[in-house]
């Protein structure tokens, strides 16, 4: 069990760190677009969609790493009143709702991604870049998030039963 948790955690961290490098081209494109629009009065056709794509990748593919680093939003009003073991038990109980939701999202997003890939869907704008890669990445990100949720569940279950960290 410890090896599985370690592998999942390493995968989430690796994907998150790699994808975080997309922030650099994103900032460059933002600076480019602002410069072209306001200094040279020549806005670009491609910059806003490129920024949208890059931030989409950053957001969706960074979700599992965010869960690993315990940066997702919680309801602190309830959470802070629980003991560490109580928090682990609450997370074990709520994991099943999380898993059900994630499985449904993976199923739905995979259907949409496959349809988008099959028609080689574009954005529909004058530039019309492909968007099927983002829909596929969304499905991959959901799988990574479910795996990271499983890793957290295993750690929480161990802590709830044994009273010590895995």
Close Cβ partners of 60 (under 8 Å, ≥ 6 residues apart): 137, 138, 141
Query: Which whole-number Å values give the CA distances from 61 to 4, 19, 80, 84, 114, in the listed order?
Result: 20, 7, 29, 29, 18
Over residues 103-146, the pLDDT tens digits come to 999 999 999 999 999 999 999 999 999 999 999 999 999 999 99
DSSP secondary-structure letter at 120? T
Query: What's residue 140's pLDDT?
Result: 98
Q: Residue-wise pLDDT tens for the chain (166 aa)?
A: 899 999 999 999 999 999 999 999 999 999 999 999 999 999 999 999 999 999 999 999 999 999 999 998 877 788 889 999 999 999 999 999 999 999 999 999 999 999 999 999 999 999 999 999 999 999 999 999 999 999 999 999 999 999 999 8
pTM of the model: 0.93
At residue 132, the pLDDT reads: 97
Do the Cβ atoms of 71 and 154 come closer than 8 Å?
no
């Amino acid at each position: 069990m410890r090896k599985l948790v370690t592998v999942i955690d390493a995968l989430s961290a690796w994907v998150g760190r790699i994808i975080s490098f997309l922030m650099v081209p994103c900032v460059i494109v933002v600076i480019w677009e602002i410069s072209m629009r306001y200094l040279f009065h020549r806005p670009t056709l491609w910059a806003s969609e490129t920024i949208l794509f890059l931030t989409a990748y950053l957001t969706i593919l960074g979700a599992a790493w965010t869960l690993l680093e315990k940066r997702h939003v919680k309801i602190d009003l309830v959470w802070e009143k629980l003991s560490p073991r109580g928090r682990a038990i609450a997370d074990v109980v709520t994991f099943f709702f999380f898993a059900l939701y994630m499985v449904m999202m993976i199923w739905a997003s995979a259907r949409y991604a496959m349809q988008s890939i099959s028609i080689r869907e574009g954005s529909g704008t004058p530039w019309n870049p492909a968007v099927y890669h983002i829909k596929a990445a969304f499905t991959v990100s959901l799988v990574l998030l479910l795996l990271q949720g499983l890793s957290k569940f295993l750690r929480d279950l161990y802590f709830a039963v044994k009273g010590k960290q895995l």
